[in-house]
Structure 1
């Protein structure tokens, strides 16, 4: 079978919304987001080559805490390789007590012309009113032959009615022998940090100014040649 093209991914992505809407019934909540980013980052690593990028997202919230969604972006890897990147997820949120929820789900990563990078993760989380603690596990991270765990802690603290301080701490750990050779000496773990402010622009838009930093290492399959410390400006609009 020939590899999927970006246009095929886009058609599949746009078909998801009516399917979710039909499955959800009267209680469904379907929405879309468009994000413009000065530098698109995933767990501390730039997947846009330190360049501006855009991402389109769809999300469905159903009855009983069930939800699903997908996002579509463009990824730039080492040696000039580029690929469409489709992330599809689904899971459920359950209330443990007022102000504290539990979450579990699955996340699939698909690349249109770099299919050996495809991988899946399971995740579980605790969700507070202003914080979240989440753990992801994959048996074959980016198709690199390594198992992985990624833990993250996120915090959002209101400063005014429309401004909040945001923070993130993540740790990625890999196990097993990688199937590629790293330019730098391999290190099993990677730490990433993010801090900044979030500003609500009306009812459906959010502007974030962030400082991000990441160490080298972890179970990555592309050359880590992008900046490891930088400032980011992200604008997200819901519609």
Structure 2
């Protein structure tokens, strides 16, 4: 049995759904993007709005299996600089609330057909089912991509309340392309330290996703299935079918 997520009275306690307190950070990030755009003529700003049957993060639901709407803003600056922010709203449990907020900043370089990137992400979630984990945390990452395959490695210094670093690695790949249809796969591995008073070492959790997508006019439609054995955002561990429609502008 995992030592950290299931420890009697400290685990299996789902915090009540409350608005994410970091919404102000999203607004500040959006304002910063606007200022950067105004000051850099070659910068490109893009936005997106998505409607999903379920909002998932690394195989688990962050909206309590309820539908969600997400909005995002991104900036690609000259020289490889990029930044962005997004927010997800759900009406799960009959209460309209912000379920997730994300801000990121990074830098990417290309050498031939290989792209390398590094960045920092701040994530906030309204619900986590284990008190040892923070709802808001930072992750630094390094990534590389080539011909439809993307690898990323993340390190978080403050995901755990006891201050131990956690790790996550993922690979995303285009498995099949047929006309406008595409099949993409994802595999992820979380490495979470045991309690400081425990045996030491890292506990391993896995997640996966298969997703079919295609453009339809100005919409991008997706459907798939995802699962994980990491019981921190949701305790069920079941596989989830999802579908989404996104509009970019």
Q: TM-score range, shorter-chain basis? A: 0.7 to 0.9
CA distance in 2, matches of 1:226, 1:237: 31
Deviation at 1:159, TM superposition (A): 2.3
**Quick one: which of 48, 51, 54 aligns to 1:36?**
51
SS of 2:178's partner is coil
8 Å Cα contact 1:6-1:84 kept in structure 2: no
**Structure 2 stretches of 5 or more lacking a match?**
1-18
SS of 2:191's partner is strand
Alignment-derived partner of residue 228 in structure 1: 238
Name the TM-score, length of structure 1 as normaliser: 0.80
**Quick one: which of 113, 122, 128 aligns to 2:140?**
122
Aligned length: 221
Distance verdict in 2 for CA 1:212–1:110, change over 3 Å: closer
Deviation at 1:206, TM superposition (A): 1.1
**Quick one: which of 100, 111, 116 aligns to 1:102?**
116
CA distance in 2, matches of 1:215, 1:34: 29
**Structure 1 stretches of 5 or more lacking a match?**
180-186
Q: CA RMSD in A?
A: 3.2
Asked if residue 91 in structure 1 is aligned to residue 106 in structure 2, the reply is yes
CA distance in 1, matches of 2:176, 2:243: 19
SS of 1:27's partner is coil
Name the TM-score, length of structure 2 as normaliser: 0.77
Deviation at 1:28, TM superposition (A): 0.8
Deviations 1:73-111 (A, max 9, x none): 24799xx9x655321111111113x21111111111245
**Quick one: which of 194, 219, 224 aligns to 1:210?**
224
> How do 1:35-114 residues align onto structure 2 when only pairs under 5 Å count?
35-74=50-89, 84-96=99-111, 98-110=112-124
Q: Which runs of 4+ in 1 moved over 3 A?
A: 3-14, 74-77, 110-116, 142-146
8 Å Cα contact 1:118-1:143 kept in structure 2: no
Asked if residue 188 in structure 1 is aligned to residue 188 in structure 2, the reply is no
8 Å Cα contact 1:47-1:76 kept in structure 2: no
- Higher RCO (Cα < 8 Å, 6 or more apart): 2
**Quick one: which of 121, 139, 152 aligns to 2:157?**
139
> How do 1:12-23 residues align onto structure 2 when only pairs under 5 Å count?
12=28, 14-23=30-39
CA distance in 2, matches of 1:143, 1:72: 24
Deviation at 1:200, TM superposition (A): 1.1
Deviations 1:155-180 (A, max 9, x none): 1245233111111001111114289x
Distance verdict in 2 for CA 1:111–1:147, change over 3 Å: same
